[in-house]
Amino acid sequence: MFRFLLKLIICLGLAIAAGLFLLALRSGDVIYSAYEWISPARFHQFDNLIRTVATEHQLDPMLVKAVVWRESRFDPRKIGSAGERGLMQVSERAAREWARENQVANFHADDLLDAKTNLEAGAWYLHRAFQHWEHQKKPAVFALAEYNAGASRAQRWANNDATAPMSERAFRSNIDFPGTRNYVASVLERCEFYRKRGRM
The answer on 96 and 14 residing in a single domain is no
Burial class (CB in 10 A: 0-12, 13-18, 19+), 150: middle
Please indicate, yes or no, whether residues 74 and 33 belong to a single structural domain of this protein.
Answer: no
Identify the domain containing residue 19 by its residue range.
1-38
User: Are 87 and 75 within one domain?
Assistant: yes
User: Are residues 190 and 163 part of one domain?
Assistant: yes
Amino acid identity for residue 48 in this structure: N
Residues 21 and 86 placed together within one structural domain of the fold: no
- Give the domain CATH number at 144: 1.10.530.10
**What share of the chain in percent tops pLDDT 90?**
74
Phi-psi region of 60 (alpha: psi -120 to 50; beta: other; left: phi over 0): beta
pLDDT in tens, 143-164: 999 999 999 999 999 998 878 8
The reported pTM is 0.84
Same domain, 171 and 119: yes
**Residues 6 or more apart in contact with residue 165 via CB below 8 angstroms:** 135, 136, 137
Residue 98 and residue 5 share a domain: no
Least confident of 27-31, 73-77, 143-147: 27-31
Domains identified in the chain, total number: 2
